[in-house]
Structure 1
Amino acid sequence: MYIRSFILLHVIYYYNLAFAQWNTKDFLKREHSLIKPYQSTGMTIPFWDFAGSTMVTNNYIRLTPDVQSKTGTLWNTVPVYVKHWDLQVHFKTHGRAKDLYGDGFAIWYAKDRLQTGPVFGNNDYFHGLSVILDTYSNHNGPHSHQHPYISAMVNNGSLHYDHDRDGTHTQLAGCEAKFRNLDYDTHISVKYERDTLTVSTDMENKAAWKECFKVTGVKLPTGYYFGLTSTTGDLSDNHDILSIRLYELDVPDDNGDDNEDRSKRSPSAVFFESPRDHVSDPKPSTLSGFKMFLLILIGAIAIVACIVIGIMFYQKQQEQSRKRFY
């Protein structure tokens, strides 16, 4: 009896051990992650491509330096077939400027990779998801929020990202996040689970996630690529990536959704924020401050001169009236 129990316990132990080894869900997906040390041999990074101004160091990957008119990209080379995932990015945005800085960087889950364009270094009319961390301090148009600002956009290739309005016409949701020039680590989590997109941040050095926004009804296909891009214009900042970790989430198949062929999905979202009318900014005056001052001064002198002439004309009329009376 003792021998049978002993054998049974060992069978259960080795069965559980084998099951634990094969059950890789909720664990790091290394082919979609990027952790120090970044380089293997030469200037290559396993599973990742980089281009533009991107610079790889021992401690960070700098998408753009604090220099004007730079664009940097970093893209995973392996398509993602995970259905439910949590992408966690450890980053740092910093620069010399105190008041004027930009532009920011974007996290992508997109069909096409290494496509340089005007949307924070990636192409417009893309297919997929973009989570944008916008730091442009001199923001465009009338907004109710301050910068830095985090927002998300889902595109099926038909939508234009309106950079002049910070993408507010097509964003799913957004929140303010003060992540620039901090002395401690900053993190962002982009979680996609059961067609729900949840973006959370750790910007307060509390080692805890704080929800930025949550949007349901988001349809994303499998087989797309993760990437990060950044750009600077007249304003600039250092945009550094310290690590990228992709976790597959262990989500029970309660509704039979896992039977769907998600590779044939078209990116879509049920909910969008209410769009604002596109109102063009007033054209700035071409006159300098000194010229404007002279113009105002001349106008004031002309008004005073008209008043003086009017008074003199009135007095002359009064004198002529008195002479006729006498």
Structure 2
Amino acid sequence: MMVNDWNLTTPASMLTQLLILIIPLCYNPTQGSTNPTSEENEQPKKYYEDNLSLTKPFQQEYAWDISGSAMITDRYIRLTPDQKSQQGSIWSKSVMRQPYWEVVVAFRVHGKGKTLYGDGFALWYTQERLTYGPVFGSKNGFKGLGMFFDTYSNHQGDHNHAHPFVSAMVSNGSLLYDHDSDGTHTQLDGCHMSFRNTEGEAAVKVRYFKDKITVHTLMEVGAVQTGDEDWKLCFESDGVILPLNYYFGLSAVTGDLSDNHDIHAFKVFSIPYEVGQFKPDMAMLRAIPRAQKFDAPRKHVDGKSSMLSNTFRSPLKTFLISVVVIIGAVFLIAVAYLFYKDREEKKMKRFY
């Protein structure tokens, strides 16, 4: 036997050679939670979707439909101006043809209001487009995903949370958003984000990958181009099913309170995933948007705090209630005067 061949003449040599054979077989580089290649830390490949995106100087308007008060400038897309009773939206003409995707929205919400302002805007991924309604300028009972950037608190009872508030909701068309509870009964999850009247732009990143919605927020617009380490996790929600071929949209609304709702960038990335990896018997189930986790819807009840806040929120309502109170007071005074006069007349009759 040659010197450089396997030397099995001693027990020590035999043990050494055995370990050399076993260690490579036992080592698996994909195991361990700290390995960057594990599925938990997987960073999927993304492809920029130009026909679904909007970037300065906003020359992609041909691929979008604009409605209501929305207007496009070379610096931003203004969904609503800081005026009462405005409603505006912008919707993609093309659909998302990949099962998974990521959206990055840079925006700014600002206005003259110091203590009262509203109402907010929404990001949509839905089956229908250009649908007007009460949910931040779009319809209630939508099919798909709604991301809400709510600046006015309508909460009641134990659903008090800081505003502005970012939340998400998935509906199959039967689940309704309740403004008076700020959608807390049907939301996937949410977080506070102080994006109103900031000096620069704020941003949010929404990733839908492997049936999970992950939302990150960013308060410094300059960091949008830097890296993932600058984003702050808002929430994650598993078990979310969103079908293919839905439209993206943005909408906003103002009522008696108002704000400028400006979009500075809307970037969409597709995340390809082999269709064959979905089980054939699940294809029909994946055609219906749904989520495993959300707060169960409850019966809407007008609370005293809600009625009071809505009263003072609307100058018209305040005026009407003041008129009713004045008329009521005058009526009571008149009744009291007539009663007093009748009583005095009866006293006078006793002397005759």
Shift of 1:237: 0.3
List per-residue Cα deviations over 1:84-131 (Å, max 9, x = no partner): 111001111001111100000000000000011111000111100000
> Where do 5+ consecutive residues of structure 2 fail to align?
1-43, 224-229, 312-320, 330-352
Distance 2:286 2:237 in 1: 22
* Amino acid paired to 1:35: T
* Amino acid paired to 1:235: L
Contact map agreement 1:64 1:71 (CA 8 A) in 2: yes
Distance 1:275 1:49 in 2: 33
Do residues 222 (structure 1) and 222 (structure 2) align?
no
Contact map agreement 2:154 2:179 (CA 8 A) in 1: no
Distance 1:263 1:79 in 2: 20
Q: Secondary structure at the match of 1:46?
A: helix
Please point out which of 52, 57, 75 is paired with 1:32.
52
Distance 2:45 2:53 in 1: 15
Bigger helix share: 2
Distance 2:132 2:274 in 1: 38
Task: Please name the residue that 2:277 is paired with.
Answer: 256
List per-residue Cα deviations over 1:27-82 (Å, max 9, x = no partner): 21111111112136xxxx12111100001111001000000100000100001111
Shifted more, 269-278 versus 197-206: the winner is 269-278
Task: Please name the residue that 2:33 is paired with.
Answer: none
Contact map agreement 1:223 1:263 (CA 8 A) in 2: no
Distance 2:221 2:75 in 1: 20
Please point out which of 259, 265, 268 is paired with 2:287.
265
Q: Secondary structure at the match of 1:167?
A: coil
Q: Percent identity?
A: 45
Do residues 56 (structure 1) and 72 (structure 2) align?
yes
Provide TM-score, normalisation by structure 1.
0.74
Contact map agreement 1:221 1:262 (CA 8 A) in 2: no
Distance 1:94 1:280 in 2: 30
> Where do 5+ consecutive residues of structure 1 fail to align?
1-23, 295-326
Q: Secondary structure at the match of 2:62?
A: coil
Contact map agreement 2:106 2:221 (CA 8 A) in 1: no
Shift of 1:252: 7.5
Distance 1:87 1:204 in 2: 17
Task: Please name the residue that 2:105 is paired with.
Answer: 89
Provide TM-score, normalisation by structure 2.
0.69
List per-residue Cα deviations over 1:192-240 (Å, max 9, x = no partner): 0000001111025672111101000000000100000000011100000
Shift of 1:265: 1.2
- Cα 1:205–1:225 change in 2 (3 A) is closer
Please point out which of 109, 129, 141 is paired with 2:156.
141
Over the residues paired in the alignment, what is the CA RMSD in angstroms? 2.8
Distance 2:48 2:279 in 1: 21
Q: Secondary structure at the match of 2:47?
A: coil
Shift of 1:248: 1.8
Contact map agreement 2:241 2:286 (CA 8 A) in 1: no
How many residues are paired up? 265
Q: 1:11-22 counterparts in 2 under 5 A? A: none
Please point out which of 251, 254, 257 is paired with 1:232.
254
Distance 2:264 2:231 in 1: 18
Please point out which of 266, 291, 308 is paired with 1:244.
266
